[in-house]
Amino acid sequence: MTAIALDGLATAAQIKKELTAEVEELRKQGKRPGLGTLLVGDDPGSHSYVGGKHRDCAEVGIESIRIDLPATATEADVRAAIADLNSSDDVTGYIVQLPLPYGMGANQMLELIDPKKDADGLHPENLGKLVMNSSGKFESPLPCTPAGIVELLRRYEVPTRGREVAVLGRGLTVGRPLGLLLTTRGVDATPTLLHSASEDIPAAIRRADIVVAAIGSHHFVKPEWVKSGAAVLDVGISRVEGKLVGDVDPGVSQVAGHLSPNPGGVGPMTRAMLLKNVVEMARA
């Protein structure tokens, strides 16, 4: 058996096609979705990532506003830029690209974002709304990577209702919010959140119908740990000998029923969900 690929590139392309039509309709109503980005410093990965977001915007007709500050920018400079984005009528949603320069409190800066413009869905107020929401009807932006994972499963008709899900990693951007999203009505999964202190991780993975690996440890998930026919999503990335590799051993493709490639799986879905958040904010 060879796993069916959960193709994030193709799925994200379809979502962007749908969003293009939605943006056109919003424009007819006098509403213009706009994404803002705030980038501080010279990190090459961050510059590449932000550049990709602006190319995505151009592809679907979303306006984009980019603020780049040098690595020498002060905390006051960053606070002023966030205030500008909060007040801009051209920005319906925006992100503060991480990491910020050493010594600058990322959490404190993120908390300054207007929750109604929180395109990443990671402001404490929006995460709190996710905690309180079990209905599956969301009026606040969702964290992009968890939303992308659930959407990828849905579009490939991978059942989630009543299914056991092993989530490796308890980070703020994936593991913690994904566990909450998986238990909302309409998804109705049963997640187990695994981390460095969890005992017998292989046994927990063997029970799972769906495995989400988001720990940044190359090829951590072994084929013998995976239930035959399970859906496996490879989210974490690490660099080995200059190459980016995922958390899932390539041999898992011979055991799993579905497998997301890395790259080309969840990553494109994260970017597509960011665009969706911006469009939904413009609609509100």
**Beta bridge pairs of residue 65:** 36
Residue 284 has pLDDT above 90, yes or no: no
Indicate the residue type of 133. Answer: N
Among 226, 236, 108, 234, smallest CA distance to 171 is for 236
159-210 pLDDT, tens digit each: 999 999 999 999 999 999 999 999 999 999 999 999 999 999 999 999 999 9
pTM over the 0.85 mark: yes
**212: region left, alpha or beta (phi > 0 left; psi from -120 to 50 alpha):** beta
6-56 pLDDT, tens digit each: 999 999 999 999 999 999 999 999 999 999 999 999 988 899 889 999 999
Contact indicator for 35, 278 with CB cutoff of 8 Å: yes
Q: Which residue has the higher pLDDT, 26 or 135?
A: 26
Can you read off the two tokens belonging to residue 124?
């404490």
- Name the residues annotated as catalytic: 53, 97, 120
Give dist(CA 83, CA 69) in Å, integer.
14
227-282 pLDDT, tens digit each: 999 999 999 999 888 888 999 999 999 999 999 999 999 999 999 999 999 999 99
Give dist(CA 260, CA 75) in Å, integer.
39
Peptide bond into 99 cis (omega under 30): yes
